[in-house]
């Protein structure tokens, strides 16, 4: 019979694999869009070497991110978790770069405001993962607002007292008060027809709380605002 420790480890592995599967959906979608774009450009006779090299570079960067994601999630099973100083601004810009094809395809603008370049001790790719999840969550919320013709996501980074405040805001319909306290629960989803949903926000909170020793919460203010509070 397996010990509680072994069973707990197996449960963690299962959770990790589910998280990797969830986290890969966006990069795979980006690669699909890039390949489709290359195909359409070629068929129209507008293909140039510079254009092809640019798209191939974008695909290679996305694959590199996916590879790094596996390594990051594997660290959950390792007692040694190295941290490095990185600029939060770089993490935000990488998340925006990786989600841009999806946002452009859905006519959603995204903007980033920062008071300064902020350096922080942690794992850059993990924060990027969280931001991709929050951006994707905002995108899905905006797509439900059919009357909104100026869909926008705004990311804001500022220093407040002894904390860095990182906000991801959309101008959608906001989150129902009935479910606001449940959205960080594992497998909770507002769409019962989409199996496997509900891991993203749960995983985001897990990373922010356990790996960054920080906090994340959500409120409504002309749309949903997810706030990450990182202690300095």
Q: What is the pTM of this model?
A: 0.70
Which phi and psi angles does 78 have, rounded to 5°?
-110, 135
Which phi and psi angles does 213 have, rounded to 5°?
55, 45
Q: What is the CATH number of domain 4-231?
A: 3.30.565.10
Q: Provide the token pair at 57.
A: 């570079």
CB of 167 closer than 8 Å to CB of 156: yes
Query: What percentage of the chain reaches a pLDDT higher than 70?
Result: 79
Q: Write the pLDDT tens digit of every residue in 151-172.
A: 999 999 999 999 999 999 999 8
The count of residues in the chain is: 232
Average pLDDT, the chain: 81
Give the Cα separation of 99 and 29 in Å (integer). Answer: 9
Total Cβ atoms within 10 A of residue 170 = 27
């Amino acid at each position: 019979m397996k010990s509680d420790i072994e069973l707990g480890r197996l449960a963690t592995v299962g959770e990790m694999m589910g998280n990797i599967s969830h986290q890969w959906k966006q990069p795979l979608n980006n690669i699909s869009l890039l390949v489709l774009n290359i195909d359409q450009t070629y068929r129209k006779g507008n293909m140039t070497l510079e254009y092809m090299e640019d798209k191939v570079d974008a695909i290679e960067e996305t694959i590199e991110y996916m590879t790094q994601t596996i390594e990051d999630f594997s660290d959950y099973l390792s007692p040694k978790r190295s941290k490095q100083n990185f600029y939060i601004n770089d993490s935000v810009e990488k998340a925006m770069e990786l989600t841009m094809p999806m946002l452009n395809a859905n006519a959603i603008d995204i903007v980033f405001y920062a008071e300064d370049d902020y350096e922080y001790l942690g794992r850059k790719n993990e924060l990027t993962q969280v931001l991709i999840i929050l951006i994707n969550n905002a995108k899905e919320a905006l797509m439900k607002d059919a009357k909104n013709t100026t869909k926008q996501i705004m990311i804001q980074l500022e220093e407040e007292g002894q904390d860095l405040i990182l906000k991801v805001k959309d101008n959608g319909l906001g989150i129902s008060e009935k479910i606001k306290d449940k959205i960080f629960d594992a497998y909770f989803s507002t769409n019962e027809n989409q199996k496997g949903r509900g891991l993203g926000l749960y995983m985001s909170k897990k990373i922010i709380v356990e790996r960054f020793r920080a906090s994340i919460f959500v409120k409504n203010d002309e749309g949903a605002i997810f706030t990450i509070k990182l202690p300095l």
